């Protein structure tokens, strides 16, 4: 798996309408056109620039966590990673997206695809956590 860091997000985006009715995946109800309020993606994703940035994911090792190749992830650098977090990091200068597990005296980087083995961080390895993945964004346009 590889990643592409797209850069920090700027705050102060345009507010978009939020509809109060839930939208069914079948045929929408004609009464579902009531706008509850306007929100910004900054508020929704709790973006606090310059601590938040976007990363494009390349590979299938995190698909079990719902992160697929081509997805964008919203990463927060201001959060200290804890066991169980999905992180953007570098191990010996190789960037990746993995789940961080801290076990007694061991650090383990786990893929969310069973075809990839867990990677134990060994003495002498250099692990740098770049940030914690907070959200993923998928493009559903097939063109």
So which residues are the catalytic ones?
61, 98
User: Where do the H-state alpha helices sit in the chain?
Assistant: 41-44
**Strand 94-103 to 106-110 pairing:** antiparallel
- Cβ-in-10-Å burial (0-12, 13-18, 19+) of 79 comes to middle
Per DSSP, 64 falls in state G
């Amino acid at each position: 798996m590889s990643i592409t860091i797209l850069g920090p997000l700027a705050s102060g985006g345009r507010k978009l309408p939020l509809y109060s009715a839930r939208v069914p995946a079948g045929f929408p109800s004609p009464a579902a056109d009531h706008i509850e309020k306007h929100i910004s993606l900054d508020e929704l994703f709790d973006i606090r620039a310059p601590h938040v940035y976007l990363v494009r994911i390349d590979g299938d090792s995190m698909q079990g966590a719902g992160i697929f190749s081509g997805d964008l992830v919203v990463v927060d650098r201001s959060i200290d990673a804890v066991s169980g977090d999905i992180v953007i990091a570098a191990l010996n200068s190789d960037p990746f997206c993995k789940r961080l597990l801290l076990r007694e005296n061991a650090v383990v980087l786990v893929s969310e695809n069973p075809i990839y083995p867990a990677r134990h961080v060994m003495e002498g390895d250099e692990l740098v956590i770049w940030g914690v993945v907070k959200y993923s964004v998928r493009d559903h346009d097939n063109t």
